[in-house]
């Protein structure tokens, strides 16, 4: 090293970012996801038509189920709305449902998992038996029941998905805390007189952030899939608000399924691309944040 | 905070013990870990990790504590700091029984006593910078913030022989010896009176061990520290201690001044430990006073003298009654029937 040149200190996250940058697949994932997010944010600027309005052709008739053309490059749906515009607006719904639902589940999972892992004894038993009970329910059935009871809407969908998918996070966080809690720096801090809050927030949580971040990413993909399934079944996001799931719903008609593939094919592809890119990012993060796994 | 210092200067009236010159006194300390079994988690037995230990330390001295792995040294150290609650017994720190303190008072007292662990890799939080690690004691007790905290951290870094620009680095950028220096700096931050060194140099290689031991000695003079130095290695302990206590299976078997213990050990276990020290001279004759067998289980320690199962000079009496730790002259304490018989 040259004299006078100050060595730059490398935090854990700086090192992890360097490893992440080497992962091509994950970078593609980031690129695709950022484009999707941008198109969702700027939907009103990008979308060629109003997603809620049926368009009429030059004869003044509703332009129903028209094939892809220069005016509607993915065609129109069964009530004459532009599929491309709906697809772009649906991205808003799917991504926000994914983010909000996962935020809810990560918060619940982290709080309950931390309590269980840190305090142990009866707190642990009560919380983890609760997790076992929630896991016992068939998820889709539970979600359908709750969201029908709560009147289906985009918000219900977010909350319901969040409320049923925290169990994995809780288990993960509990396990990680049990591991980190035994490190001597936790005991050193206690010997210095630190309170439990400080030990949890300053010492334990920063050391288990990596698996939580990976879990959150992979769960976002899951949440988007669940939202699509719910909307497809008609208990998720309701018409006329577009979502990739309820757009797929139109594939239930045999004519559309057989003769108008663009109507169901495009939301299907959108779901696949989104979920795939998020999963690639998740895998990339996992490799970057856990150097012990190798793969360099 | 000032009130605490005030109350320490004058002994409390309800404390019938006379003011002594001891900084720490441990009386009949016990720490049992219950073994639970069955559907109802019934306690079927106890691991008697520390089973009735008495000793005291005077200010400014270093008491070495040695013994085999699993004899309860580490548990003893942690129990003294109440990182684990003692099962029974008293821990008197500066004329105050700390087992009776509530959490808030204990938190304040923690400024007076610190621990330095064995593993310099495990005892530093990998997500915090060195500055935050050494500054944390000030944050916890609200003693210094901002500029003042920065100055204090710089001072501590200098005291333990690290550079000021290390402050923004992370623990993984340091070697084992440097990490142990960081741990020592953090331990010193609150200007404690007592430091428990729990195998603090065992994880380092020999040349670094010497550096750290010398640093600990220098700091002891500079800050008038008292050490309880726990180790499994008599040669390390010899370098730093004034007095040495030997522990076997949860009990102390011998306490004596360093030279006394090395020159005229009384307990057969101490003799065995001393003869196990390798002699760094080719062809040196090894003593034949070597131990055989393993340490018996602390769940069910042998009746009578705990050492009788491995003792080369065992007799009937040893199997029946446990010897007391008695003064055999000049503050040399030993727990062995044979010693009394010899009319020492």
Q: Where are the domains of chain A?
A: 95-296
Neighbours of B292 (CB within 10 A): 7
ipTM of the prediction: 0.78
pLDDT at A4: 44
Buried-state track B15-41, b at ≥16 Cβ within 10 A, e below 16: eeeeeeebbbbbeebbbbbeeeeeeee
CATH architecture of B2-112+192-341: 3-Layer(aba) Sandwich (3.40)
Q: Is the pLDDT of residue B3 over 80?
A: no
Give me chain B's average pLDDT, please: 82
B82 → chain A, closest CA residue? A191
Mean of pLDDT values over B314-334: 81
Nearest alpha carbon to residue B209 among B238, B247, B242, B243: B238
Cα separations (Å) of A118 from A171, A179, A193, A199, A209? Answer: 13, 10, 17, 10, 16
Question: Of B123, B141, B170, which has the smallest distance from its Cβ to A188's Cβ?
Answer: B123
Question: Of B114, B122, B136, which has the smallest distance from its Cβ to A183's Cβ?
Answer: B122
Sheet harboring B42-57: ordered strands across? B42-57, B24-37, B88-93, B96-97
Q: Which two tokens stand for residue B196?
A: 């428990």
Q: How confident is the model at residue B100 (pLDDT cuts 50, 70, 90)?
A: confident
Q: Which residues contact A39 (CB under 8 A, 6 or more apart)?
A: A46, A88, A91
- Contact state of B126 with A198 under an 8 Å Cβ cutoff: no
The Cα–Cα gap between B139 and B145 comes to 7
State the CATH class of domain A95-296.
mainly alpha
Neighbours of A165 (CB within 10 A): 23
From the number of C-beta atoms within 10 Å of its C-beta (0-12, 13-18, 19+), residue A1 rates as: exposed
Give how far A149 is from chain B: nearest CA, Å. Answer: 40
> Where do the domains of chain B lie?
2-112+192-341, 118-191
- Contact state of A207 with B165 under an 8 Å Cβ cutoff: no
The Cα–Cα gap between A288 and A20 comes to 5
The Cα–Cα gap between A95 and A93 comes to 6
Mean of pLDDT values over B224-238: 86
The Cα–Cα gap between A277 and B40 comes to 49
Q: Is the pLDDT of residue B244 over 50?
A: yes
pLDDT at A8: 59
Q: How confident is the model at residue B1 (pLDDT cuts 50, 70, 90)?
A: very low
Q: Which of residues A46 and B32 earns the better pLDDT score?
A: B32
Q: Which residues in B have their CB inside 8 Å of a CB on A?
A: 78, 81, 83, 106-108, 110-111, 114-115, 117-119, 122-129, 136-137, 140-141, 165, 168-170, 172-173, 183, 186, 190
Helix A261-289 vs helix A205-233: crossing angle, to nearest 10: 170
Q: Residues of B with CB below 8 A from A11's CB?
A: 127, 129, 170
Give how far B121 is from chain A: nearest CA, Å. Answer: 9
Give how far B190 is from chain A: nearest CA, Å. Answer: 9
A11 → chain B, closest CA residue? B170
pLDDT at A57: 67
Backbone angles phi, psi at B255, to 5 degrees: -135, 130
Q: Is the pLDDT of residue B341 over 60?
A: no
pLDDT at A31: 92
Mean of pLDDT values over B285-291: 64
Q: Which two tokens stand for residue B88?
A: 């029974």
Best mutation target, A7, A125, A188, A289, to test chain B (most B CBs within 10 A):
A188
Q: How confident is the model at residue B287 (pLDDT cuts 50, 70, 90)?
A: low
Mean of pLDDT values over B207-211: 86
Give how far B30 is from chain A: nearest CA, Å. Answer: 20
- Contact state of A185 with B81 under an 8 Å Cβ cutoff: no
pLDDT at A113: 92
- Contact state of B117 with A187 under an 8 Å Cβ cutoff: yes
Give how far A40 is from chain B: nearest CA, Å. Answer: 35
Q: How confident is the model at residue B18 (pLDDT cuts 50, 70, 90)?
A: very low
- Contact state of A9 with B127 under an 8 Å Cβ cutoff: no
Q: Is the pLDDT of residue B8 over 60?
A: no
Q: Is the pLDDT of residue B12 over 60?
A: no
Q: Residues of A with CB below 8 A from B190's CB?
A: 192
Best mutation target, A3, A184, A195, A212, to test chain B (most B CBs within 10 A):
A184
Neighbours of B286 (CB within 10 A): 10
Q: Is the pLDDT of residue B315 over 50?
A: yes
Best mutation target, B125, B133, B164, B171, to test chain A (most A CBs within 10 A):
B125
pLDDT at B284: 63
The Cα–Cα gap between B55 and B179 comes to 31
pLDDT at A174: 92
Size of interface A-B (CB pairs under 8 A): 74
- Per-residue tens of pLDDT for chain A, all 296 residues: 444 444 556 777 888 888 888 888 889 989 998 998 888 888 788 777 777 777 766 666 667 767 777 777 777 777 777 788 888 888 888 889 889 999 999 999 999 999 998 888 888 989 999 999 888 888 788 888 887 888 778 888 888 888 888 898 999 999 999 988 888 889 888 888 888 888 888 888 888 888 888 888 888 888 888 888 888 888 877 778 888 888 888 777 777 777 777 778 888 888 899 889 988 898 888 888 875 544 43
The Cα–Cα gap between A269 and A228 comes to 12
Question: Of B114, B124, B140, which has the smallest distance from its Cβ to A194's Cβ?
Answer: B140
Q: Is the pLDDT of residue B15 over 50?
A: no
pLDDT at A109: 92
Q: Which residues in A have their CB inside 8 Å of a CB on B?
A: 6, 9-12, 183-185, 187-195, 198, 202-203, 206-207
- Contact state of A188 with B140 under an 8 Å Cβ cutoff: no
**For the CA atoms of B172, B176, B181, B187, what is the dihedral angle to 10 degrees?**
80
The Cα–Cα gap between B337 and B344 comes to 11
């Amino acid at each position: 090293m040259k004299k006078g040149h100050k060595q730059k200190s490398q935090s854990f996250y700086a090192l992890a970012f360097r490893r992440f940058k080497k992962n091509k697949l994950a970078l593609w994932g980031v690129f695709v996801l950022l484009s999707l997010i941008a198109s969702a944010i700027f939907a009103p600027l990008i979308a060629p038509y109003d997603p809620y309005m049926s368009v009429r052709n030059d004869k003044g008739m509703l332009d129903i189920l028209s094939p892809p053309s220069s005016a509607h490059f993915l065609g129109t749906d069964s009530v004459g709305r532009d599929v491309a515009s709906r697809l772009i607006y649906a991205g808003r719904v799917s991504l926000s449902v994914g983010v909000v639902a996962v935020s809810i589940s990560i918060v619940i999972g982290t709080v309950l998992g931390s309590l269980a892992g840190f305090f142990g004894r009866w707190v642990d038993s009560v919380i983890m038996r609760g997790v076992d009970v929630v896991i016992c329910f068939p998820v889709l059935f539970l979600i359908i029941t709750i969201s029908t009871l709560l009147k289906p809407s985009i918000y219900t969908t977010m909350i319901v998905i969040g409320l049923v998918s925290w169990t994995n996070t809780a288990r993960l966080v509990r396990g990680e805390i049990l591991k980190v809690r035994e490190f001597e720096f936790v005991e050193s801090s206690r010997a210095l007189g630190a309170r439990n809050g400080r030990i949890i927030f300053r010492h334990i949580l920063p050391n288990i952030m990596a698996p939580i971040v990976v879990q959150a990413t992979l769960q976002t993909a899951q949440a988007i899939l669940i939202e699509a399934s719910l909307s497809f079944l008609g208990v998720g996001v309701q018409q006329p608000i577009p979502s990739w799931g309820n757009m797929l719903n139109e594939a239930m008609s045999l004519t559309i399924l057989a003769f108008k593939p663009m109507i169901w094919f495009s939301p299907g592809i959108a779901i696949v691309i989104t979920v795939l890119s998020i999963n690639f990012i998740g895998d990339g993060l996992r490799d970057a944040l856990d150097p012990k796994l190798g793969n360099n | 905070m000032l009130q605490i210092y005030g109350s320490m200067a004058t002994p409390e009236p309800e404390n019938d013990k006379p003011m002594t010159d001891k900084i720490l006194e441990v009386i009949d300390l016990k720490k049992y870990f219950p073994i639970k079994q069955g559907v109802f988690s019934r306690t079927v037995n106890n691991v008697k990790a520390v089973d009735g230990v008495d000793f005291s330390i005077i200010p400014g001295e270093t008491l070495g504590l040695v013994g085999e792995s699993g004899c309860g040294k580490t548990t003893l150290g942690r129990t003294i700091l109440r990182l684990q609650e003692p099962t029974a017994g008293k821990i008197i720190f500066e004329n105050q029984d700390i087992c009776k303190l509530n959490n808030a008072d204990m938190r304040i007292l923690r400024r007076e006593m610190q621990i330095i662990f064995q593993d310099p890799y495990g005892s530093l939080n990998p997500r915090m910078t060195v500055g935050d690690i050494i500054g944390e004691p000030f944050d916890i007790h609200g003693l210094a913030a901002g500029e003042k905290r920065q100055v204090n951290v710089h001072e501590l870094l200098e005291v333990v022989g690290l550079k000021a620009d290390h402050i923004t680095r992370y623990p993984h950028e340091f070697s084992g010896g440097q990490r142990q220096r960081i741990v020592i700096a953090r331990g010193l931050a609150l200007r404690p009176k007592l430091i428990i060194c729990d195998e603090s140099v065992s994880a380092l290689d020999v040349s670094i061990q010497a550096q750290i031991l010398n640093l600990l000695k220098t700091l002891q003079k500079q800050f008038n520290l008292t050490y309880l130095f726990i180790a499994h290695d008599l040669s390390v302990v010899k370098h730093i201690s004034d007095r040495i206590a030997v522990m076997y299976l949860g009990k102390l078997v011998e306490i004596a001044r360093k030279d006394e213990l090395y020159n005229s050990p009384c307990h057969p276990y101490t003799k065995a430990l001393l003869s196990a020290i390798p002699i760094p001279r080719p062809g040196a004759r090894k003593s034949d006073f070597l131990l055989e067998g393993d340490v018996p289980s602390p769940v069910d320690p042998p009746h009578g003298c705990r050492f009788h199962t491995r003792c080369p000079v065992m007799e009937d009496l040893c199997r029946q009654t446990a010897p007391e730790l008695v003064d055999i002259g000049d503050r040399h304490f030993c727990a062995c029937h044979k010693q009394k018989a010899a009319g020492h």
